[in-house]
Structure 1
Amino acid sequence: MGQSLLPPEPVIYLVEPFGGPIRRQNPNMPHVFWDDAAVTRGDGVFETILVRGGRALNLDKHLARFTRSAAALALPEPDAQQWVKATEEAVADYCRERMLDDDPSLAPEAKCMWTMTRGRETTGVPTAWLTVRPVADDVLRQREEGVAVVTTPRGLSVAADVPWMAVEAKTLNYAASMAALRWARSQGYDDVIYTEPTDDGERVLEGATSSVVMVKKDQRLRTPAPGPGILPGTTQAALFDYASERGWKCKAKDIYLGELYKAESVWLVSSTRICARVTRLNDKKLPVPDNEAEIRELIAAAVGR
């Protein structure tokens, strides 16, 4: 069996957004300029993809959302073949350099992040690159131990009738989400679930970097319906596709906070964290469900297809 090498540097590939060549970048050399929109405005889009067993998982759903995100921000349409080729080469490099043998399936788990920005103000040419690096230890811990979650309003209104709001874009502007996570951790929690007050109660939106999935009796899975304030999740979509094929009743619908307390279990799902069970919601400890192992296996199998 192979052995891991020293703590790895990331594998970085530059991607020409108009179909030019891809090439590997030295991680110790600069690439993003001072006037890039990613730096000055947070103006760009990204995707984070789990790498396991020597391959990037769920690529079709990530490509679809990356394309939607780029269109919403009037960025060039990503060349699917180019991004897939760059990803495969970067993952192969990562696996080869992390193992002492030739079996990529033994390489440590990683995450691949695609990034496209509006580019330099002085040139107007978009900037695009991808990285492959290890999954963080705290992400692995949350998979196993679960997360304590506090609910909070998002703090800004995302109205359905505002035409310029890029509701379905996964943008680089994550400052508010990172601030929410810092606040949650200062209060003794691991994560947040955003909610929105309505006449019917607190409507559940999403996690700071994840989708919310609720498990109910009789093999029912529920998630908040995508729309203003709720980004469609690739992991959630993969889970619902897989579970539906196996007889689960899956539905995206409005969910209210009171329903989470009554559910069999509540999960935060995302590409690299895969799944983390909500063990505490606000001040209430959520019981361990009898089917926890089954749910974990279901999500893992859905992601690994």
Structure 2
Amino acid sequence: MSPIIFAVEPFGGSVRDHNPNLPLVFWDDAAVTRGDGVFETLLLRDGRICNLDRHVSRFLASAKLLDLPEPNIDGWLKATIMAAEKWRSHTTDDASCVWMYTRGRETTGIPSAWLTIRPLSPTALHQRAHGVAVMTSPRGYHIDPPETTEAVPWLVVGAKTLNYAANMAALRWARAHGFDDVIYTNGDIVLEGATSTVITVRGKKIRTPTAGGDILPGTTQAALFEYATEQKWRCKEKQLVLDDLFRADSVWLVSSVRIAARVTRINDQELPAPANEAEIRELIEAALTSNLTNHP
């Protein structure tokens, strides 16, 4: 199925169903020349949007951190609903919806904005079902929040930016060496996956590294913690070290589209499947499906 693309007027107004076979981005757009912009990836399930409020909040925060004009959320929601309805007219399969918002053309200074809806990749579906082998790796830099705010305030902390080249390079390296994914570390401290949040499960406790600094707040993790707490699980953000991963009953990478991939191996150490694997999957799925939106 061809991608569904809607162009969004950045300051309000119309949205446009764009032909995916025609050009959309100009040669001097900051997304192309500098990777300057933000994005947000949402899951469509049965043609409905999962976890919308958290994605909107992070999208607005990312735009603010990059000093982009505040997105006209009504326009984004209108375009998303129209695109989701078009998708649902063809299929009710899960889909990935990506909002893209750039600083725009150098020659105009007007931001560019569009969204796409596409089927989930076979790789994402396979990893949902069968899990992932991960390698640990230093990210190559470290962001300390006090330092960022006082000494280097231009470093963007907590924004989901288009500048993902390093993350993609890390994933290519991992796959070339027999792994599916990467968990970033700072020394022995666990940070996050290349495109996901790390969580551990031990008994009825769910833990994740504290967001901020090196760690982007995760929308799926936030939905899980809210829902799981209601189901009497004990959820907490805290600093995790590598030994915490090996001592856990299970380790998961959670994200909007892949949802949950159990970590089956870390470096050269296999992680056996826990007895409650199905229960954990159902818990994470339920956390997202409890946050479905039909309309703005």
Give the TM-score of the pair, scaled to structure 2: 0.95
Alignment-derived partner of residue 31 in structure 1 = 24
Alignment-derived partner of residue 263 in structure 1 = 248
Alignment-derived partner of residue 75 in structure 1 = 68
Which gives a bigger RCO, structure 1 or 2 (Cα 8 Å, sep 6+)? 2
Give CA-to-partner distance per residue, 1:264-302, whole Å, 9 cap, x none. 100000000000000001110001101101100000000
Alignment-derived partner of residue 194 in structure 1 = 184
Choose which of 197, 200, 204 in structure 2 pairs with 1:214.
Answer: 200
Conserved 8 A contact 2:142-2:186: no
Q: CA deviation at 1:80?
A: 2.1
Conserved 8 A contact 2:183-2:192: yes
The separation in 1 between residues aligned to 2:205 and 2:184, in whole angstroms, is: 22
Conserved 8 A contact 2:133-2:265: yes
Segments ≥4 residues shifted beyond 2 Å? none
Matched to 2:135, the amino acid is: V
Q: CA deviation at 1:158?
A: 1.8
Conserved 8 A contact 2:129-2:261: yes
Corresponding position: 1:284 with 2:269: yes
The separation in 1 between residues aligned to 2:120 and 2:23, in whole angstroms, is: 23
Alignment-derived partner of residue 224 in structure 2 = 239
Q: Unpaired segments of 5 or more residues in structure 1? A: 1-7, 100-106
Aligned-residue Cα RMSD (Å) equals 0.8
Look up the SS of the partner of 1:28 in the other structure.
coil
The separation in 2 between residues aligned to 1:30 and 1:111, in whole angstroms, is: 21
Q: CA deviation at 1:235?
A: 0.3
Determine what percentage of the aligned residue pairs are the same residue: 60
The separation in 1 between residues aligned to 2:198 and 2:9, in whole angstroms, is: 35
Give CA-to-partner distance per residue, 1:56-78, whole Å, 9 cap, x none. 11110000000000000011112
Give CA-to-partner distance per residue, 1:32-53, whole Å, 9 cap, x none. 0000000000000001111111
Corresponding position: 1:65 with 2:58: yes
Corresponding position: 1:167 with 2:160: no
Corresponding position: 1:147 with 2:132: yes
The separation in 1 between residues aligned to 2:142 and 2:230, in whole angstroms, is: 36
Look up the SS of the partner of 2:35 in the other structure.
coil
Conserved 8 A contact 2:7-2:113: yes
Q: CA deviation at 1:159?
A: 3.0
